[in-house]
């Protein structure tokens, strides 16, 4: 159902907004403008078959409207896939505010944006993303209840990072089972790049299990603290991809699985929290497969965050969120199974499974 339409058949100009929406079957795109506050924003709703679309708001000084539109279309589609495979009753959406978060944010702008979200009557639910902080969420919340991922003191579920880290750890164990026949990580050499909120939680879980953990971060202070607290070994950035390791866990930035790193990496598994790890899905998804590296698709691995946010909407219970996050283990194994059966890269297997759930649920007709 999320088939790519043949855009050439469309009577619309190739670069029109609707033509771009047609490409990946986006449902609705809302352009928001308010001269009084200076707000310029785009809300993209990719798919609502499974439930209301949910995804964070990003504030970024996009160089052009086209750049902002491209980003919000790509990100909202990613949310559809992530929630689908996590087994959530959520669709995919995302919003971008065009502007500099450091200088152009204020209460009026955020509240005006909140009013736009409210006008969608729950079809889009927002959360924090790059450039948006707790204070901004407080302002948005003054104008709409369609927000999630709020801090505990605002009645929300708080920082989801520990649930995300737990999901990454379970996905890594599932990857080990697939690769080596049992899921123990004891004695395995794991490189964790980025020891922020998620990376540190992952390191703690790995050390507890007896893995030999290498850590890397551009923040020297954090490196020192985490190494002291956990006993992990510090690796400098220039040696990163030349280490002799079993597992590479990207937990900092996207795009680190690229031609250069893959030509150097000596590992059997890639499994980490960062979004968009493959620099180019088509090229590097295939390249990991050809190199016999098992790649656990990022949006499956890091779904603990969205799972946590979902349970905030349901009336938050950390136990239920953690219990749901445990399903990431089986989902990861299922992706590997489909990848082997169909002889396709794992990212493609994940996409197909996500699409299948949406297609199946679209056939459900509720009745008495
Ligand atoms: P964070 O900002 O707390 O940590 C990121 C860490 O990476 C920081 O310590 C930073 O210094 C380090 N870093 C940045 N650039 C680096 C580089 N070039 N080399 C090495 N280290 C570098 O972020 P986080 O919340 O831990 O999230 C980590 C990743 O996981 C991000 O890509 C995020 O989008 C993704 N993610 C996080 C969650 C969540 O629940 N927090 C959920 C889903 C996905």
Residue 103 CB neighbour total at 10 angstroms: 8
Per the rule left: phi > 0, alpha: psi between -120 and 50, beta: everything else, 99 is left
Atom of ligand 1 nearest to the CA of 222: 9
Section 300-314 average pLDDT = 95
201 & 221 share domain: yes
- Ligand 1: residues whose CB is within 6 Å? 160-161, 164, 193-199, 216-219, 222, 251-253, 273-275, 302, 305
Domain-embedded: residue 5: no
Work out how many domains the chain is built from and give that number: 2
Two tokens, residue 264: 């150097």
Both tokens assigned to 339:
């990848």
| Residues paired with 213 in a beta bridge | 190
CA distances for 156 relative to 28, 140, 159, 286, 310, angstroms: 28, 14, 9, 40, 11
- For the record, the structure tokens of 178 come out as 């697939």
Query: Atom 9 in ligand 1: which residue has the minimum CA distance?
Result: 196
What does the alpha-carbon distance between residue 309 and residue 157 come to, in Å, rounded to a whole number? Answer: 7
Q: For residues 297 and 218, what is the distance between their CA atoms, to the nearest angstrom?
A: 24
Whether residue 313 lies inside any domain: the answer is yes
Distance 248 CA to ligand 1 centre (A): 15
For residues 73-78, average pLDDT: 95
Find the 64 Cα to ligand 1 centroid distance in Å: 26
Q: Examine residue 253 and state whether it is found in any structural domain, yes or no.
A: yes
- Domain membership of residue 348 (yes or no) is yes
Mutate which of 94, 196, 227, 237 for ligand 1? The one with the most ligand atoms within 8 Å of its CB, which is: 196
Residues 254 and 168 in one domain: yes
Output the furthest CA–CA distance in the chain (Å, rounded): 63
What is the best residue among 132, 171, 238, 273 to mutate for testing ligand 1's pocket, by most ligand atoms within 8 Å of CB?
273
If you average pLDDT over residues 44-59, what whole number do you get? 97
User: What does the alpha-carbon distance between residue 325 and residue 307 come to, in Å, rounded to a whole number?
Assistant: 7
DSSP for 288-334 reads: HHHTT-EE--HHHHTTHHHHHHHHHHT---HHHHHHHHTHHHHHHHH
Give the residue, out of 148, 157, 171, 194, with the most ligand 1 atoms within 8 A of its beta carbon, to mutate for a pocket test.
194
Task: Establish whether 94 is a catalytic residue.
Answer: yes
CATH code of residue 128: 3.40.50.10860
How many helices (H) and strands (E) the chain has is answered by 14, 12
Q: From the CB of residue 24, how many other CB atoms can be counted at a distance below 10 Å? A: 17
Cβ-based neighbours of 249, under 8 Å, separated by 6 or more: 168, 172, 190, 191, 192, 193, 199, 202, 270, 271, 272, 273
pLDDT digits (tens, 9 = 90+) for 221-274: 999 999 999 999 999 999 999 999 999 999 998 999 999 999 999 999 999 999
Would 364 be classed as within a structural domain? no
Query: Contact at 8 Å (CB) between 271 and 257?
Result: no
Q: Are 330 and 174 in contact (CB under 8 A)?
A: yes
Q: In this structure, is residue 207 part of a structural domain?
A: yes
Confidence of residue 2 (pLDDT cuts 50, 70, 90): very low
Angstrom distance (rounded) from CA 171 to CA 194: 18
Length of the chain measured in residues: 368
Residue nearest to atom 18 of ligand 1 (CA): 218
Token pair of 308 as six digits: 């946590």
- List 94, 105, 123, 141, catalytic entry: 94
For residues 133 and 215, state if they share a domain: no
Closest ligand 1 atom to residue 164 Cα is 40
**Tens of pLDDT along 137-154?**
999 999 999 999 898 998
5 pLDDT exceeds 60? Answer: no
Let me know whether 342 and 199 are in one domain: yes
Ligand 1 centre from 166 Cα, in Å? 15
Same domain, 117 and 188: no
End position of a domain, from candidates 150, 174, 192: 150
Considering 150, 181, 200, which residue would you say is the last residue of a domain? 150
Same domain, 228 and 285: yes
Residue 178 CA, ligand 1 centroid: distance in Å: 26
In terms of domains, do 329 and 182 share one?
Answer: yes
Residue 11 is predicted with a pLDDT of: 59
**Any residues with CB less than 8 A from the CB of 364 and at least 6 apart, and which?**
none
192 and 261 co-located in one domain: yes
Structure tokens at 324: 């749901």
341's CB contacts (< 8 A; 6+ apart) are none
Centroid of ligand 1 to alpha carbon of 302 (angstroms): 11
Model pLDDT for residues 119-142, shown as the tens digit of each residue: 999 999 999 999 999 899 999 999
Please report, for the domain that includes residue 335, its CATH number. 3.40.50.720
Q: Structure tokens of 128? A: 């924090």
Please say which residue of 104, 123, 150 terminates a domain: 150
Atom of ligand 1 lying closest to residue 302 CA: 43
Domain of 302? 161-356
- Ligand 1 center to 15 CA (angstroms): 34
Residue 294, strand partner residues:
269
C-alpha 194 to ligand 1 mean position (Å): 6
> Residue 50: is its pLDDT beyond 90?
yes
Q: From the alpha carbon of 298, which atom of ligand 1 is closest? A: 44
Q: Are 49 and 180 within one domain?
A: no
**pTM of the entire structure?**
0.92
**What is the dihedral sign for C-alpha 241, 245, 250, 252?**
negative
Query: What residue owns the CA closest to ligand 1's atom 40?
Result: 161
Do 110 and 220 lie in one domain? The reply is no
- Average pLDDT of the chain, as a whole number: 94
What is the rounded distance in angstroms from the CA atom of residue 291 to the CA atom of residue 250?
Answer: 18
Are 18 and 51 a contacting pair, CB within 8 Å?
no
Least trusted range by pLDDT, from 1-5, 43-47, 106-110: 1-5
């Amino acid at each position: 159902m999320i088939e790519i339409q043949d855009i050439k058949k469309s009577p619309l100009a190739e670069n029109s907004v609707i033509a771009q929406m047609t490409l990946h079957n986006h449902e609705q795109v809302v352009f928001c403008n308010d001269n009084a506050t200076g707000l310029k924003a785009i809300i993209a709703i990719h798919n609502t078959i499974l439930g209301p679309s949910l995804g964070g708001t990003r504030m970024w000084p996009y160089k052009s409207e086209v750049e902002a539109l491209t980003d919000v279309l790509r990100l909202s589609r990613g949310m559809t896939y992530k929630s689908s495979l996590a087994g959530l009753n959520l669709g995919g959406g995302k919003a971008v505010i065009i502007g500099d978060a450091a200088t152009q944010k204020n209460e009026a702008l955020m509240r005006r944006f909140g009013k736009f979200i409210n006008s969608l009557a729950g079809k889009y639910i927002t959360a924090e993303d790059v450039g948006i902080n707790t204070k901004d969420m407080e302002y948005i919340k003054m104008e709409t209840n369609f927000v999630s991922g709020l801090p505990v003191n605002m009645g929300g579920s708080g920082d989801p990072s520990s649930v995300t880290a737990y999901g990454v750890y379970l996905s890594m164990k599932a990857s080990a089972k697939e690769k080596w026949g049992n899921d123990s990580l004891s004695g395995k050499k794991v490189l964790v790049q980025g020891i922020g909120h998620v990376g540190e939680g992952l390191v703690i879980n790995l050390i507890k299990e007896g893995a030999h953990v290498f850590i890397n971060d551009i923040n020297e202070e954090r490196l020192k603290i985490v190494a002291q607290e956990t006993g992990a070994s510090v690796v400098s950035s220039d040696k990163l991809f030349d280490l002799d390791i079993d597992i590479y866990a990207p937990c900092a930035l996207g795009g680190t699985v690229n031609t250069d790193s893959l030509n150097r990496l000596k590992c059997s598994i890639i499994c980490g929290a960062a979004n968009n790890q493959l620099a180019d899905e088509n090229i590097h998804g295939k390249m990991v497969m050809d190199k016999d590296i098992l790649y656990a698709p990022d949006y499956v691995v890091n779904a603990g965050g969205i799972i946590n946010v979902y349970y905030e909407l349901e009336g938050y219970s950390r136990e239920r969120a953690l219990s749901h996050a445990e399903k990431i283990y089986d989902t990861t194994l299922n992706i590997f199974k489909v990848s082997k059966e169909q002889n396709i890269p794992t990212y493609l297997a994940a996409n197909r499974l996500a699409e299948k759930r949406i297609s199946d649920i679209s056939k459900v007709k509720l009745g008495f």
